[in-house]
Amino acid sequence: MVSNSTKNESQNINIFEENWKNPMKKPYLEKIVLNIGVGSGGEELERAATVLETISGKQPKKTLSRKNIKEFNLRKGRPIGVKVTVRGKEAEELLKRLLIVHNNRIKRTSFDDYGNFGFGITEHIAIPRVEYDTLIGIWGLDVTGRIVRPGMRVKYRRVHKAKIPQDHYVSREEAKYFLEKFFDVRIVEQLQEEY
């Protein structure tokens, strides 16, 4: 006997496949953003920037503090982290490399209702093709991805901006199915470290 949850999942899969026959409804990976929050500037920030550059092959951008927090010795406008954005085919290749760290698994709670997903990597040296450097040390980073449909640019362009209907956003279930199908991702309740 088939349970109701498996019936619903198979119906969703059929709906997604049916929708994707329309080229304007087929989602794609828009970008991957890698972020390291350092909390201070100087030499530490430069080392974090070097880590992101070796992982992505792109020049990272400094992120600035948005407010003054006396307890953390933060001043508005001071650099506190680095981030890099990768798009297109490079983003797909990079995501495949980053998913290997967790054995192609992502937590079920890592998705939102707009096609965004994220996960953390505690040690950057676990990423394939990245070697340990004693001068840099070991860094953790956040990985955020965005899955969208064609036509989302309408919302962000400068001239003739327009609202996007709710059904054009990639839903949580559709984002999960997209990653399972094209990136061989397994959605799990909890990530267990495997040694």
Tens digits of residue pLDDT in 98-111 = 999 999 999 999 99
The dihedral built from the CA positions of residue 160, 161, 166 and 167, taken in this order, carries a sign that is positive
Domain boundaries, the chain: 27-188
67-97 confidence digits (pLDDT tens): 887 887 778 888 889 999 999 999 999 999 9
Q: Which run of H or of E encompasses 146?
A: strand 141-148
Cα angle for residues 131, 59, 39 (degrees, 5° grid): 80
Closest CA to 17 of 168, 150, 177, 145: 177
Would you state the pLDDT for residue 195?
Answer: 44
Q: Running DSSP on this structure, what letter comes out for residue 69?
A: B
8-32 confidence digits (pLDDT tens): 666 767 889 999 999 999 999 999 9
Length of the chain in terms of residues written: 195
Architecture of domain 27-188 in this structure? 2-Layer Sandwich (3.30)
The whole-model pTM stands at 0.86
Residues 6+ apart with CB under 8 A from 13: 177
